[in-house]
Amino acid sequence: MLRTPLFGAHEHLKARLTEFAGWEMPLSYSGVAAEHRAVRESSGVFDLCHMGRLVLEGTGVAPVLERLAPSRIATLRPGRARYTVILNGDGGIVDDVIVTRESDTRYHLCVNAVNRERVVDLLRKTADGGDTRVADLTLETAQIAVQGPDSAELVRPLLAGADFPAYMHTVRGEWEGQEIVVSRTGYTGELGVELFLPAAAAPSLWQRLVEEAVPCGLGARDTLRLEAGYPLYGHELTESVTPVAAGIGWVVDWSRSDLPARARLERDRKAPEQLLCGFSLSAPGVPRDGFPVFLDGRSVGVVTSGNMGISVGHGIGMTWLPAAHTDPGNAIEIEIRGRRIPAVVEQPPFYTRGTVRQSVD
């Protein structure tokens, strides 16, 4: 199993460890609920070194990305980050990624750990012959997220005088004399940043951050993102679904004349068969991945992600439903250990008090 540059720190903190996409990662330290609440109420810090970090350089990068993603990439200004998806030829989602333009000809791509090799391969194949160089910097760089309403104060000393970045913007910062990238992105629904830096500088920065922020593992990362209504690759997002049906159709720029997989995307826009929906249990219980979902007494699918919503106080989850039955408030049932528990369709986010877009002076 791969280990991140922060593995020693996790052992020192006596983290519970888990295998994730080939990496040995912290699942929790003080407990999922305490870590979750810290991010909602103050601040938490996450080791995200397992995420794939790719750098794409050359004059051909934007065209290559626009052949794979339904967003417009060429118009992204340096210093801006954009969430988008990599599509297969049929409009299915190969990965969901954050593209950051670092300069005119240099882009950074943050990809899911589980898809890293596949995405690198696809980028290189698509770039074939053009001026696009793809470098996988995952193992030589580090990624640490600082998330929560107090994160801006915590990060301020790292900004080297720059203003705290606006939502989906990046700025250059500094740690121990080395340049770092401070990106106003995250996966928790709260105000926060992701810090990108050389692997060797990560342990000392982590040490500094955990003096004030609560170290958080993948357990809290999952309960936080679920409450915020963010889909997870491999659960909600797969190669057989389009971003339009999966509730992230806003990544598609319909004005593009060269939109990849347009026919399939249009079909899902005009006449989708199924749509990804959030739901809340109306009775006590905890819905979990794979539990059967019933609509009007018939089985229509399974829960793709489910858990107790720690900040909302009831069971929440996501599932695919026939498109005609996805209005908020529609009744469904989730089968939990042989019993059908009533639930209602709800438009995420489940947790609506998140500070993710809050402006910072």
Partner 1 sequence: MAEMNRFTRDHEWARRDGELVRVGISDYAQDALGDIVFVELPQPGRRVAAGEAVAEVESTKTVSSVMAPVAGEVVEVNAALASQPETINRDPFAAGWLFALRPVRVAELDDLLDETEYRKYVEELSR
**Residue from the set 13, 34, 162, 360 that interacts with partner 1 by CB under 8 A:** 34
Taking alpha carbons only, the member of 74, 232, 224, 227 closest to residue 147 is 224
Pair of tokens at residue 235? 């659960």
Q: Could you tell me where the beta strands, DSSP code E, fall in 123-273?
A: 133-136, 141-147, 170-175, 178-183, 192-198, 214-216
Of the pair 315, 317, the CB lying nearest partner 1 is at: 315
Q: Residue 214 forms beta bridges with which residues?
A: 44
Stretch that binds partner 1, among 54-62, 138-146, 240-248, 282-290 (CB under 8 A): 282-290
> Which has the closest alpha carbon to 191: 222, 164, 158, 162?
164
- Measured from the CB atom, the residue of 155 and 218 that comes closer to partner 1 is 218
Stretch that binds partner 1, among 118-126, 133-141, 149-157, 304-312 (CB under 8 A): 304-312
Which one among 114, 286, 323, 331 touches partner 1, defined by CB under 8 A?
A: 286
Write out the two tokens for 44.
């938490």
**What angle (nearest 5°) sits at the alpha carbon of residue 131, between those of residues 125 and 134?**
55
By CB under 8 A, name the one of 4, 20, 25, 28 that touches partner 1: 28
Residue 345: partners with Cβ closer than 8 Å, 6 or more residues away: 277, 278, 279, 321, 325, 326, 327, 328, 329, 330, 332
Cβ proximity of 275 and 320 under 8 Å: yes
**What minimum distance in Å lies between the beta carbon of 128 and partner 1?**
44
Out of 288, 312, 344, 356, name the contact with partner 1 by CB under 8 A: 288
**Three-class secondary structure of residue 12 per DSSP:** helix
Residue recorded with tokens 């600082």? 146
Rule CB under 8 A: choose which of 33, 162, 166, 356 binds partner 1: 33
Closer residue to partner 1 (CB): 36 or 225:
36
Q: Does 283 bind partner 1 (CB under 8 A)?
A: no
329-358 positions binding partner 1, by CB under 8 A: 337
Does residue 31 interact with partner 1 by CB under 8 A?
yes
Q: Is 130 in the site for partner 1 (CB under 8 A)?
A: no
Does residue 284 touch partner 1 according to CB under 8 A? yes
Cα distance between residue 245 and residue 86, in whole Å: 15
Taking the complex as a whole, the smallest distance from the CB of residue 279 to partner 1 amounts, in Å, to 16
Q: Is 312 in the site for partner 1 (CB under 8 A)?
A: no
Please identify, using beta-carbon distances, which residue of 184 and 221 lies nearer to partner 1. Answer: 221
Dihedrals phi, psi of 152, to nearest 5 degrees: -60, -45
Stretch that binds partner 1, among 103-111, 175-183, 191-199, 279-287 (CB under 8 A): 279-287
- Least distance in Å: CB of 171 to partner 1? 34
Query: Cα-flanking dihedrals φ and ψ of residue 256, to 5°?
Result: -75, 130
189 binds partner 1 (CB under 8 A): no
**Helix (H), strand (E) counts: the chain:** 8, 19
Q: Are strands 44-47 and 214-216 parallel, antiparallel or unpaired?
A: parallel
By the rule CB under 8 A, 115 interacts with partner 1: no
Which CB, 244 or 334, lies closer to partner 1? 334
Asked if 274 interacts with partner 1 (CB under 8 A), we say no
| Residues of this chain that bind partner 1 (CB under 8 A) | 16, 27-28, 31-34, 36, 219, 223, 284-286, 288, 307-308, 310, 315, 337
